Amino acid sequence: MTAMFRQVAVRVRSEFDPRKFLKPAMDAMRDLCRNRFEQFGTAGNASRIRVVPLSEMAKRYRSGALDPQIGKITAAA
């Protein structure tokens, strides 16, 4: 956040409201985060996911369904 803080501090020397420092920093962060979601292909995937609760994940671990599948894969490779 500090690059934006410095800019506000230098450009608007009378500014004392912390929100006037924080808001431009938040906007810059938001834009950088959005770029990453788009660059990594993450965008568009939230609505495709139905969240599995922890209790169900615990059952899957217990059943062995989530064990790493190394032996099989390396043997085939």
Partner 1 sequence: MARITLRQLLDHAAEREYGVPAFNINNMEQGLAIMEAAASVDAPVIIQASRGARSYANDIMLARMIDALEEIYPQIPICLHQDHGNEESTCATAIKHGFTSVMMDGSLKADAKTAADYAYNVEITRRVVELAHWIGASVEGELGVLGSLEHGGGEQEDGHGVEGRLSRERLLTDPDQAVDFVHATKVDALAIAMGTSHGAYKFTRKPDGEILAMHIVEEIHARLPNTHLVMHGSSSVPQPLQDMFNEFGGEMPQTFGVPLEEIVRGIRHGVRKAISTPIAAWR
Burial of 47 (0-12, 13-18, 19+ CB in 10 A): exposed
- Find the binder of partner 1 among 13, 14, 16, 54 (CB under 8 A): 54
Q: Does 65 bind partner 1 (CB under 8 A)?
A: no
2-11 helix and 18-39 helix, angle to the nearest 10 degrees: 140
One-letter amino acid of 4 = M
Q: Does 43 bind partner 1 (CB under 8 A)?
A: yes
Question: What token pair was written down for 41?
Answer: 């292909």
One-letter amino acid of 70 = I
Q: Does 14 bind partner 1 (CB under 8 A)?
A: no
- Find the binder of partner 1 among 13, 16, 31, 63 (CB under 8 A): 31
**Which residue ranges make up the site for partner 1 (CB under 8 A)?**
1-4, 6-7, 9-11, 22, 25-34, 36-49, 51-59, 61-62, 66-71, 73-74, 77
